[in-house]
Amino acid sequence: MQIIRCTTLAELNERASDLLIEELKQNPQSLVCAATGNSPTGAYQKLAEKQGSIIVENLTFIKLDEWYGLGPDDAGSCDYYLHKYLLQPLEVSAERYIAFNGKTDDPEKECSRIAKYLDEHGPIDICILGLGANGHIAFNEPADKLQPRAHLGTLSETSLTHTMVMDSGAVVKYGLTLGMADILRSRRIVLLVNGTHKNAVMEKLLEQKISTQLPASFLWLHPDVQWFYCDNDN
C-alpha cells in the first residue's frame, strides 16, 4: 500500500484526481468502481473539471453499493449521489453505468446479476473507495466473517448514522454491496479518507493487522493500493 498523506482536503482532491486522470488516459476502456460519501466528492468534482484530458465514452462505471430500499429519485441514495457528482458531469451514457437496483424485490437475484456482470466483464480496473468510521469498506461491515461476492448485508449502527440515509428519512436496515473478493480482484485501488472523525480508524488501519473486524485491513493484501488521506477537516 502506498500511503499519500495530504495536508489539506484540497490537496487530496487534486492529487487523487490527477492519479485517476492518468489511469484513465492509460486505459480509456477502464471499468471503474465508484464509491459514494463525503471522501470522494471533491475528487469527483476535480475529475469533472479535468475531463478534457480523458475519453469518457469508452469508460464503464459500476456502483460500489446501495442502500436497500432507496431508488435513484431518493436524494440519499448512492445512485442519486453518483449521478450528481460523477455521471452527469462526465456525461456517462446509461449503458455505461452498472448499478444495484436499491428498490429490487429480489435482492439475491440482483446480487447474482452484478456478480455475473463482473464474471463476464471484470475484473474492475480501478476501484475508488472510502473508509467507514468503523473500518467498513462498501457495506462490508465488521463481522466474524466477510462475504466474497455481491450480497445483501445488514448495516451497522455506524452506517445507519451516515448523513445520506439520515437525511433521506427512510427506514433502512440493509445494503447491497460488492464483496471483499470483488474489491480485492481490482487491478488498482484508490482509498480516499479525510476528516478528524476518521483518525481513530486510520490509526488502526496503519497497524497492518488483518481482521474481519476491520474489513479495510484486507486492503493490505492487495498489491496496488493508493491511500490518500488527510487527518484534518480542512
pLDDT digits (tens, 9 = 90+) for 137-183: 999 999 999 999 999 999 998 888 877 766 666 778 999 999 999 99
pLDDT digits (tens, 9 = 90+) for 33-92: 999 988 899 999 999 999 998 999 999 999 999 999 999 999 999 999 999 999 999 999
Question: How many structural domains comprise the chain?
Answer: 1
Distance CA 223, CA 183 (A): 12
- Active site residue: 74, 125, 141, 182, which one? 141
In order of 48, 129, 148, 221, 224, the CA distances from 37 in angstroms are 17, 9, 22, 24, 22
Look up 65 and say whether it is catalytic.
yes
Look up 136 and say whether it is catalytic.
yes
- Active site residue: 23, 74, 79, 134, which one? 134
pLDDT digits (tens, 9 = 90+) for 14-35: 999 999 999 999 999 999 999 9
- Active site residue: 136, 151, 162, 182, which one? 136
- Specify the pLDDT at position 167: 67
Q: 102 lies in which domain range?
A: 2-230
- Specify the pLDDT at position 170: 72
Question: In 3D, which of 222, 153, 69, 6 has the Cα closest to residue 19?
Answer: 6
Q: Provide the grid cell at 178.
A: 460488492
End-to-end CA distance of the chain: 24
For the question of whether the overall pTM of this predicted structure is more than 0.75, the answer is yes
The two beta strands, 188-194 and 225-230, are: parallel
- Residue 66 sits in a domain whose CATH number is 3.40.50.1360
Phi, psi of 140 (to 5 degrees): -85, 95
Q: Angle between the 9-26 and 38-49 helix axes, to the nearest 10 degrees?
A: 60
